[in-house]
Structure 1
Amino acid sequence: MIDTAAFEALKFQGDPLADAVIADLVATNRVGAVNAVLEHFRANDQPIPEQLPDTVREFLVATDNPPEWVDPDRVARAYDFFVDDGVHVASVLTFGAMVNCYAQPRASRALTLTHALAQPHRRLSETSQFVMNMMGRDAFGSGGAFVPTIQKTRLIHAAVRHFLGASGRWDVARDGVPICQQDMVGALLIFSVQVVEGMRRIGISVTDTEAAHYYYVWRVAGAMLGIPVEALPETVEEATELSKALVETAYGPSSEGVVLTRHLLDLYEKLFPGKVFDGIVAAMVRQVVNPEVADWMEVPHSRGWARVVTAGTGLVRALERYEDTSTLATTILDRAGALLLGGSVRTLTNGQSTTLTIPADLKERWEAAGRSPLPTEAGGTTRD
């Protein structure tokens, strides 16, 4: 049973460990120096830089390990799912999940006030890198790069809370703290159970078992992000219920959300040059998100492309039925997802090869299956 009062209380909870670190760095004027050091701190097994202040080092040590309840077998099964469908996960995440995030008025206002409005490519590339690192073979172990990603994300969120809270432009009594734990739970559900729902809307087959394993990894990530474990539903069924009952019901129109969505659409329309493809991105977004959300965010209607996208969804469903037995069907599905994500990556990074890094194990598996979203000629990089 959903505890509505407990969920509402999350609006006023930040991340005490990370918040204390940022408060110390601001008080001692060391934020810039720490940023410069942490930029080079990227691997789980990399020693913590000695030149960091004690408060930062203590935070990195305290947040270095995943929860004791983590089941490596379930994490491995989620990895296998991502190997098979990662390009489709990323496509739905970028076209659907980001719009759903903007449908949260409080979160959209925080993004706008922190100047993320003018940099949609940065937010999208950071989100993509987060997911890539999380879904690597050894994300939480010595061979991964996810732990530093988690730790730096917590510090970034704490910095936003500190500076936005001190700006006088945020009403804590009305809106709670910026990037509160309620926002964190909402984002986690958008990127996990809602992404699976979006995949199913466009005809990608995701079994209940695969959905459960994918959500499980996000639940582990949520605990490492500092979300109270009691706020994280244990099962994908409970997570779906919470998403529908409390997260999706909080969606609504806002001027900030509309503008953020427009910037997102502008960014992704660069994937399809020329006037002939005008409207295809909006049609794809409308296929993935709920119609009401699309209307609130003023996603344009395009009847012609809507019919094309709907027909394409039917084709995907037909191909999915034959994917296990048809090499042609598998190739078409994988190439479509790889093309979309590969184009997205190049757009997000402005053609640069170093911004988005696919873990080496994922890239090898995708290349072996002919489905890598970052072919060598596109400038993709891997982490050794």
Structure 2
Amino acid sequence: MVTRREWKGVVPVIDKAAFEALKFEGDPLADAVIADLVATGRVGLVNEVLEHFRANDQPIPEQLPESVREFLVATDNPPAWVDPDRVARAYEFFVDDGVHVASVLTFGSMVNCYAQPRASRVLTLTHGLNQPHRRLSETSQFVVDMMGRDAFGSGGRFVPTIQKTRLIHAAVRHFLTASGRWDVAADGVPVCRQDMAGTLLIFSIQVIEGMRRIGISVTEQEAEDYYYVWRATGDMLGIPVDAMPESLHDARELSATVVQAAYGPSPDGVVLTRHLLDLYEKLFPGKVFDGIVAAMVRQVVDPEVADWMQVPNSHAWNRVVDAGTRLVRALERSEDNSALATTILDRAGALLFGGSVRTLTNGQSTTLEIPADLRERWEATGRSPLPTEGKPPAEAR
């Protein structure tokens, strides 16, 4: 397993070989369920029933097969070590900065995911190259469910989201392996535990880094609490708890020396990134502002990753975004004493996140449902990306 110990006089290390071994590990609990459903021809039935299974307090539907019911019972509880106070602090951080988290997720984290050649290959073989809205919708919904008040407890809706995600991953592993288009011996298990751990680090550690790159202030306590919730989520997703370092410092080291070190160019990643950029250029009218989307991506991700993914490099737009970042930093410094600065920062983030919602729902079957408590807090402070309760913008319907 991945461990890192710090003792006086001992150089801390990460067990990279153990992390590499996770490439050949799936999710035995979920994999067994999918194998049963495929063998008995009940995948479609279960999909229909689980579509309406959305809340932590909701009784498990009786019409589900026994294998699914047993899985839902076995995976229902968060880790015993989860501290509700830390989860509550992470929720308050997301209330304040969730729109900025979402912006970095959509403009940066997706490109970092595409910089993982094996993961990009899985996406190509399962979702196709021209469906970035689906990946964005699933990721956005996962994160807002995770950051709702008491996401793991009574009144929350995150536990079914996790459980269904595990089953989706297991289905991808089953059908992709059975298709003969995936070489497990050479490439490991598709959607393996290593992939999941890497993705969690991209969505936690690297999101915080991306926020700071665009000038958003994140305290170390906020960063620690945000990562803490992701680590708990990883445990519930079936990732061995010691594969996700306990400390923020160790998680940063794992992200830099193992996850980011594995980034590289691939034809799949390039095409996926191009479709992502095409999707987000719809945020801006006409063609005049097309270059700003690529410039925003380049501000958030590492320059080498942007080059590998062939993100267009406009020096003019890069200067515009860089100037915007300096302005954000100046506003952040004055935020405690300036209601105007707070309003500008929050509305900018809400506009980006709102544009993401409009893009995802425009002509697509996907919608983004923001938990009621989070939506109410955002609406009270003018941060909500949705104009009406629980509904996408009018132009998206």
Q: TM-score band (shorter)?
A: over 0.9
Whole-Å separation in 1 of the counterparts to 2:386 and 2:166: 28
Q: For residues 134 and 196 of structure 2, what CA distance do their matches in structure 1 show?
A: 19
Of 82, 103, 110, the match for 2:122: 110
1:353–1:24: structure 2 CA closer, same or farther, 3 Å change rule?
Answer: closer
Letter of the 1:217 counterpart: V
Q: TM-score, normalised by structure 1?
A: 0.97
Cα-to-partner distance string for 1:3-56 (whole Å, 9 max, x where unaligned): 111101000000000000000000001100110000010000000000000000
5+ residue gaps, structure 1 = none
Q: Which of 235, 240, 245 lines up with 2:257 in the alignment?
A: 245
Deviation, 1:83, is: 0.4
Asked if the contact 1:43/1:147 (under 8 Å) is kept, the reply is yes
Equivalent residue in structure 2 for 1:269, among 271, 281, 293? 281
SS in 2 for 1:379: coil
1:167 and 2:179 are equivalent in the alignment: yes
Return the letter of the residue paired with 1:150: I
* Closer/same/farther in 2, CA of residues 30 and 377 from structure 1, 3 Å limit: closer
Q: Does 1:56 align with 2:99?
A: no
Q: Which amino acid aligns with 2:279?
A: L
Q: Please tell me whether the aligned partners of residues 106 and 136 of structure 2 are also in contact (alpha carbons under 8 angstroms).
A: yes
Q: Which amino acid aligns with 1:208?
A: E
Residues 161, 179 of structure 1: 8 Å contact kept? yes
Secondary structure of the 1:227 match is coil
Indicate whether 1:38 and 2:47 are aligned: no
Distance 1:351 1:118, change over 3 A: closer
Question: Relative to 1, partners in 2 of residues 1:102 and 1:234: Cα closer, same or farther, differing over 3 Å?
Answer: same
> Quick one: distance in 1 between partners of 2:363 and 2:248?
37
Q: Tell me, in whole angstroms, the C-alpha distance in 1 between the residues paired with 2:350 and 2:341.
A: 14
Supply the AA of the counterpart residue of 1:85.
Answer: D
Q: 366-375 or 174-183, which moves further after superposition? A: 366-375
3-state SS of the aligned residue for 1:322?
helix
Residue by residue over 1:260-295, the C-alpha shift from the partner in whole angstroms, topping out at 9 and shown as x without a partner, is 000000000000121211211000000000000000
Query: How many angstroms apart in 1 are the aligned matches of 2:57 and 2:30?
Result: 21
Q: Distance in 2 between matches of 1:326 and 1:286?
A: 29
TM-score computed with the length of structure 2 as normaliser: 0.94
| Residue 288, structure 1, aligned to residue 300, structure 2 | yes
CA contact under 8 A between 1:353 and 1:379: conserved in structure 2? no
The residue that corresponds to 1:180 in the other structure is 192
Tell me the CA shift for residue 118 of structure 1: 2.3
Identity within the alignment, %: 83
Q: Please give the secondary structure, in 1, of the residue aligned with 2:370.
A: strand
Shift of 1:352: 7.1
| Residue 142, structure 1, aligned to residue 168, structure 2 | no
Amino acid at match of 1:241: E
Task: Provide, for residues 181-221 of structure 1, a one-character-per-residue CA deviation record: whole Å limited to 9, x for no partner.
Answer: 00000000000000000000000000111000000000010
Supply the RMSD in Å over aligned alpha carbons.
Answer: 1.3
Structure 1 runs of 4+ aligned residues shifted over 4 Å read: 351-354
Q: Distance in 2 between matches of 1:162 and 1:354?
A: 24
Alignment match, 2:358: 346
Shift of 1:371: 1.0
Give me the whole-angstrom Cα distance separating, in 2, the residues matched to 1:84 and 1:48.
34
**Aligned with residue 89 of structure 2, among 74, 77, 85:** 77
1:373 to partner: Cα distance: 1.3
Q: Which runs of 5+ in 2 are unaligned?
A: 1-12
Alpha-carbon contact 1:139-1:147 (below 8 Å) kept = yes
In the TM superposition, residue 116 of structure 1 has moved relative to its aligned partner by 3.8
